[in-house]
């Protein structure tokens, strides 16, 4: 049996692995195919593709776009993206700028609380175009301004906490169109985590191609529920570990194993779209 993991992050967003380390981990875990889905960026895909080619592993380009619909945050995975598509790159660059400005706002809020963190320290640590709250948390720990990543979120960075800053997001409908414009398939990420059930029909009408039924934080009951959605709305089925490397305890890669017939169906759907 061959298996895939279609939800993975690297250092190009908030994961800790380089693309090469990620591919090595995928190999160790006996995976035959991976997709890289960094937040709002495809920067790591070229290196991941090269590393996969060297070990004869299937690679699917991807990204996880942070979007919203009716005030609900929804993450949309794009697969088989043309990573050189100028329009796609220009639009996600704007959201990378939003992320960078948000880091400055979060650091300013921390400074107002008397915490001496510099935005540059966060950017140096993040060393990518798509920084996020985990980088602020890691910088706080690194500078010994807090004891742990969890404490950083609990005290300062969680929604409603004093250094939390809302993020302006693209609409989910735009995200779907943007992914299609770059030749990709759009998949709703971890629906079990974002209270998105009520808006799934609208996202399907907007052209959503698939649904992430299998995810680290989905219970068996949840996965079964979303398999029923997939059946009802004729959506492709995907799954992945959402591995962020060593940032959260053990790396999760290998814990969600998507059977290969789903990969064949995704490839067929992508070929049909072209
Ligand atoms: P951002 O995109 O900047 O809002 O950051 C979202 C990232 O922060 C996601 O990858 C989450 O896994 C991570 N995150 C969110 N809440 C927490 C938390 N309470 N503890 C640790 N990580 C978190
Ligand atoms: Zn993340
Ligand atoms: Fe997500
Ligand atoms: Fe993710």
- 252-263 pLDDT tens trace: 999 999 999 999
- 130-178 pLDDT tens trace: 999 999 999 999 999 999 999 999 999 999 999 999 998 999 999 999 9
Residue nearest to atom 21 of ligand 1 (CA): 150
The label of the residue with tokens 């950083």 reads 152
Other residues' Cβ atoms within 10 Å of the Cβ of residue 58 = 16
> pLDDT value at position 255?
95
Q: Distance of alpha carbon 149 from its chain centroid, rounded? A: 19
- Element containing residue 191 per DSSP (H, E): none
Question: Ligand 1, residues 98, 153, 154, 166: which to mutate, most atoms within 8 A of Cβ?
Answer: 153
- pLDDT-derived band of residue 229, with 50, 70 and 90 as boundaries? very high
For the segment 19-26, the average pLDDT, to the nearest whole number, is 98
Portion of the chain with pLDDT greater than 70, in percent: 100
**CATH number, span 97-157:** 1.10.150
| Terminal-residue alpha carbon distance, the chain | 29
- 31-80 pLDDT tens trace: 999 999 999 999 999 999 999 999 999 999 999 999 999 999 999 999 99
**Model confidence, pTM:** 0.95
- 196-207 pLDDT tens trace: 999 999 999 999
Return the domain boundaries, the chain.
3-91+168-273, 97-157
Ligand nearest to the CA of 193: 3
- Residues touching ligand 1 (Cβ under 6 Å) are 14, 39, 132-134, 149-150, 153, 158, 167
The single-letter DSSP state of residue 154 is I
Best CA proximity match to 127, nearest among 187, 59, 57, 41 = 41
CATH fourth-level superfamily of 3-91+168-273: Metal-dependent hydrolases (3.20.20.140)
């Amino acid at each position: 049996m061959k298996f895939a993991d279609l939800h993975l992050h690297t250092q190009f967003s908030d994961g800790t692995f380089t693309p090469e380390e990620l591919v090595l981990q995928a190999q160790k875990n006996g995976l035959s195919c991976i997709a890289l889905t960094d937040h709002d960026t495809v920067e790591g895909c070229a290196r991941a593709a090269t590393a996969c080619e060297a070990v004869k592993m299937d690679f699917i380009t991807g990204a996880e776009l942070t979007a919203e619909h009716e005030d609900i945050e929804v993450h949309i995975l794009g697969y088989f993206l043309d990573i050189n598509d100028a329009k796609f790159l220009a639009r996600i660059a704007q959201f990378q700028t939003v992320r960078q400005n948000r880091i400055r706002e979060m650091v300013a809020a921390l400074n107002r609380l008397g915490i001496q963190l510099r935005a540059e320290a966060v950017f140096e640590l993040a060393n990518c175009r798509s920084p996020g709250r985990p980088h602020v948390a890691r910088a706080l720990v690194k500078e010994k301004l807090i004891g742990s990543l969890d404490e950083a979120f609990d005290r300062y960075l969680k929604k409603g906490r004093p250094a939390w800053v809302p993020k302006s997001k693209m609409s989910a409908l735009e995200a779907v169109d943007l992914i299609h414009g770059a030749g990709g398939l759009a998949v709703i990420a971890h629906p079990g985590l974002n209270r998105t059930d009520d808006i799934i029909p609208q996202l399907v009408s907007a052209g959503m191609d698939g649904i992430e039924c299998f995810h680290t934080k989905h219970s068996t009951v949840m996965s079964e529920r979303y398999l029923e959605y997939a059946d009802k709305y004729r959506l492709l089925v995907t799954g992945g570990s959402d591995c962020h490397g060593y940032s959260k305890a053990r790396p999760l890669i290998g814990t969600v194993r998507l059977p290969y017939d789903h990969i064949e169906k995704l490839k067929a759907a992508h070929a049909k779209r072209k």
